[in-house]
Chains A and B, each alone.
Chain A
Amino acid sequence: MKPAASVLLLTTSTGFGFGLLAWLGAYAALGLLPRAPVLVAAGIVIALIFTSTGLIASMFHLERKERAWRAFTQWRSSWLSREGVAAVLTYPVAIAFGVAFWRGGPPLATRLLGAATLLASLGTVYCTAMIYASLKPIRQWHNAHTAPDYLLYAVFSGAVLFATLRTAALGEPGAMASAAAAAAAAAALLAKRAYWRHIDAQAPLATLAAAIGLPQGIEARPLDAPHFSENYILRQMGFAVARRHAAKLRSLALLIGFALPLALSVLGALAPAPMLATTLALACAALGLALERWLFFAEATHVSALYYGRRI
């Protein structure tokens, strides 16, 4: 599948934003947030900047942006519509939570608003993941890995972002935030490797013979294509990345996206320069996740490419 810049930015940037909101909400719900209103207020503003960047980027994927409001109407059936509704609903919840914390509102109300922020944020990420996981013609997406993986990458990117912000506000990431970032990085790394093992072991979804309705036992191969220049279907669904390139990019994504942030999160808790370590961890995570997301699209194959004799 063609990796469009708008969709890569949408999924990674909202992952950071909603991931950070989820951590702020979770810590607040458990009563574990340090009494530092600046950290929470700045955290929520920065998280919403990340989510807004992603959502605005997604608009660039639309051919008719002026009609985008219509995408909020079909939440009964469409995960894309649900994503839009969930994203918009998360904003007032997160803002109410931030205001309650800033004003030192009633502890129970603040905790409940924190829990609501956590649920709304992860709910939105889940909707995003299900857009891809529900597409039956793409075996690399329509599987049990996609939804949990998206949640995990959002939790991981949010944890790294939270550790950086906590260091900026309080001078150190703190043992809990560092441990959370390191653990999330390790879990994300293992999940990504498990996903790659899974898609490498999958059989193609169908044979060309089944795609053209031939009885079993007959083999088919392409003879003449319907047209002699690329069309929309081939540009979108026929995108392919060379295997040897993919292997190199996978190693790079694991190293930059997960292994380095893991090591830097540990360093941030122990070393004398926590700001440098956490900022580097954040930069690596952003770069690595963008690369990982590019591969998520580029390595995905679509059944319809079979009609053109492509490998799926």
Chain B
Amino acid sequence: MSTLPERPPGAKRLGLVIDLDTCVGCHACAVNCKEWNTGGEAGILPDYDKYGPEPDGVWFNRIHSYETEEGGCSRTVNFPRSCLHCEDPLCVTVCPTGASYKRAEDGIVLVDTDKCIGCQLCSWACPYGARELDEKAGVMRKCTLCVDRIYDESVPQEERVPACVATCPSRARHFGDLADPESEVSKLVRERGGADLLPGLGYRPTNKYLPPRRARIPTAPAKPPAPGAKGIGAALLGLLDKALSR
């Protein structure tokens, strides 16, 4: 159903909290996501022109790197981008077939690829660019929050987390119930000022991003070298410098 479900009281809001302070931009989460979702229970994610000049394919997770500037200094911010499992997902309500749906019990947004007609309207409705068309199967694909893994009782309890979280070497990705104010992820959001992406658009994303910590030590911006002094003395020194530099 493309209409949004009635969320029962006490329903979970499973999602990710991503720490932009500690993410090192290694792409391990994207690689493990691709591996799990290609080899796991959910099926295959295609690649086109794999070894050619224009390699392309479907990924649920894309890692961007940005440069930010504050107080004259710049720093790198690595930013993993995937489905945020929004509370008001326009991608779901625009779906004409009911292939896109939001689960009542945990809020995960999924695509039933047996119903999808590949009209791609959902990808236009998502401001985060989280949905990618599988050009081989002709259906839309997106992050499943590893729904085939987090509930699988044959997987050891500690591994029942999304593949991206399980693999992150800098522990920048956290998984949990954001509806529970006492969960570890909710505490992190409170303590670190976790933010919604594009809050002005009103999608109410479940996933939160922890902003990079502010530097506590003064870091002066690099100064350009002072221009050389003028006069006959400076010209002679310049000649000397040239001669010695030869």
Give chain A's interface residues, CB within 8 Å of chain B: 1, 61-65, 67-68, 70-74, 76-81, 84, 131, 134-138, 205-206, 208-215, 217-227, 229-233, 236-237, 302-305, 307-308
Contact = CB atoms under 8 A, between A and B. Distances in A.
Contacts of A67: 97, 115-117
A139 B80 CA distance: 25
Given A227-B62, A229-B56, A79 B94 contact: yes
Given A205-B201, A206-B200, A214-B77, A73 B97 contact: yes
A227 to B, nearest CB: 7
A288 to B, nearest CB: 25
Interface of B: 1-4, 20, 25, 27, 30, 53-59, 62-70, 76-77, 79, 81, 90, 92-99, 115-121, 123-129, 132-133, 135, 138-139, 193, 195-203, 208-209, 211-212
A206 B119 contact: no
Nearest to A233: B129
Contacts of B59: 227, 231
Contacts of A71: 96-97, 117, 119
Contacts of B212: 214
Contacts of A84: 96
Contacts of B97: 67, 70-71, 73-74, 81
A209 B199 CA distance: 12
A1 to B, nearest CB: 7
Contacts of A224: 25, 64-65
B67 A77 contact: no
B132 A80 contact: no
A74 B1 contact: yes
Contacts of B115: 67, 70
Contacts of B56: 227, 229-232
A77 B118 contact: no
B172 to A, nearest CB: 14
Nearest to A226: B62
A208 B96 contact: no
Given A71-B97, A77-B3, A62 B211 contact: no
A223 to B, nearest CB: 4
A236 B133 CA distance: 10
Contact of B117 (A68, A304, A307): A68
Given A64-B118, A67-B97, A223-B76, A214 B125 contact: no
A307 B63 CA distance: 10
Contacts of A218: 68-70
Nearest to B98: A74
A68 B92 CA distance: 17
